[in-house]
Amino acid sequence: QVTGADPWISFSCGRPVPARKKLRPKGIPGAAGGDSQGGGGDGGGDGVETSEPRCGEGGRHCEACHQLLPDLQLSLGTGLRPPSSMEFLRRRIDSALEGAAGGRYHLLSGRTVDQLVARALLLLRLSALVDSVAQLIDLCSPLLQGEDAEGVTSLAQVQRVCQMVFRLSPARRTLHHKLVDDAKTKGHNLGSLSPLEMTIDRRKAISGPPSTDAGQKAPSGWSVFEQIFAKLRARGHATDPNWFHWAKKSVQWWKVKFVNEGVIDAGGGFRESVSTIAEELMSDRTPLFVPVPDAEDGISFHRDAFLPNPHCRQFEQYAFLGRLMGAVVLGGCEKLPLRLHPIVWKSLCQHELTWADWAAADPCGAKTLDNIAAEVARGTLDDDTFYDMAAELAEQAMLPRQAVSSAQGPAYLLDLIRQAHLDKFAAQMAAIRRGLCELVPLHALYLYCPTALEVEVVGHPDIPFEMLKQSTNLRGFDARGDTAKWLWEVLEEFTPAERSLFLRFGTGSGALPNKINVERRDGRPNSLPTASTCSRTLCLPEYPSKAILKEKLSIAICHREMELG
């Protein structure tokens, strides 16, 4: 129920509020008994008055803050807590919104920092209220959705009523960490210290034809992913969740011998195989994933991301991928750098998908459907034209044409097509989730913020320069010398994709967190850098200029002239 001049900030949750109060979370300087001015006080604000929300009565919060606050939570490291000063919170929000107009926070680009501060304070206050009763949540009841959730203390009911506020709660993180830590302890007790050895033919994977039969019942055997899956399935490991629990001291899940490559795998070959798996899954080498519909138009922020292929029926491979994801979450020794669309991570966490989620993946298709809905509402579209268009749209949503009938009203058909888009790859997602939940408890998965789950599995996909610099150790170089200075400048100028290639060249894995050593090596100015991925070492000659260093390093990382061993 929206109230006030600015409905984006002022709202109540279902029941009329007797009097408008000025609200400030406890712990904010200047608060008096918890009721004060949101967005004001030390550090300024716009003095926005807000109705005191009643979290337990089903308040809904804007998708824009839903998108921003979990990332602020990650950026703060220990999570969003009542800040020590208004200025601290203001700086965090201002930093997160840089470039919002064309980035992931585009929904917030029209809002001022003062408005966002007021909204953040309101959500922090709600989070504190939820924290006070979090210990009453029943983690033993079945995780059912919506109206099927029995009992007011079930996790599904709490999540449904309190929505994103509970996901920002420190108590939620405590519950989540306990569930994941228990699963890790179980895995360490079951795990083996001896990695499985297998032979992989990468040349066969490179020279083999791309996968074109999405419905094939058996793997083609060409890709590295399919080779590893086939070898593990032959030994009964691919479908055994206990095999994916590796011992605490284990640094690799298997040892690989690449045919005709002379690799002695002490970790580098393993990391290279995992990176190759992620690379193949995000290409036409395997049929499991396809580019988002917006890949050609390039309008959305995630235009280079992938979605599960709705035509692919290789559910064993999807479940195998889910088990690999679970091993990454519990093991933490390796990342799986997949470029999956945010709707995939949201679906994995079993959060309700909305039409806005699909519109982010297919903005052109969603806009077409919304325009048709608008014309129907205005009465400017005749029935024959509408049903012809609806039949074509239904086919794109993988609905049979006979599902479109004149006996059904236009509004019903449009809702049916929208829901069909959201359910298009539900079977594939269910298979991935099934494999993932064999290692990570379902309740823990439900408590994840989608962005946090993505970081757990993929690492930090953007490879920030400062984080890369902290992960890079220089050996044999003068920290204040020209080569060290030029290297930092080149890495800062690199795109995130090039920084990922730099990491993969030196370590075999292109994701953070990941440590890499850059070691001084004697060599002529025309020689290229080399790498030993097993020791996570990149050997760099001292070049006479920054331009030559950038040229030689770019050639090396793009052509992967690695010395594995």
Give residue for tokens 């097509």: 417
Element (H, E) at 389: helix 383-396
Q: Catalytic: 534?
A: yes
99: left (phi over 0), alpha (psi -120 to 50) or beta: left
Task: Report residue 159: phi and psi, to 5°.
Answer: -65, -40
d(CA 52, CA 19): 9
**Which residues have C-beta within 8 Å of that of residue 391, sequence separation ≥ 6?**
401, 404
The 3-state DSSP class for residue 128 equals helix
427 close to 314: Cβ distance less than 8 angstroms: no
Chain center to CA of 395: 30
Could you tell me which of 522, 511, 508, 513 has the C-alpha nearest to residue 564? 508
Amino acid at residue number 105: Y
**Which residues have C-beta within 8 Å of that of residue 306, sequence separation ≥ 6?**
281, 282, 289, 290, 291, 292, 338, 339, 340, 341
Is the bond preceding residue 342 a cis peptide, omega within 30 degrees? no
Amino acid at residue number 150: E
Report DSSP letters for 53-80, one per residue: P-GGG-----HHHHHHHHHHHHHTSS--
- The active-site residue, picked from 13, 55, 65, 534, is 534
The 3-state DSSP class for residue 263 equals coil
Structure tokens at 151: 């009992």
287 close to 312: Cβ distance less than 8 angstroms: yes
Give residue for tokens 């064999």: 438
Strands 254-258 and 196-200 turn out to be parallel
User: Residue 145: how many CA atoms within 13 Å on its side-chain side?
Assistant: 7
The 3-state DSSP class for residue 199 equals strand
d(CA 263, CA 563): 9
Catalytic annotation, residues: 534
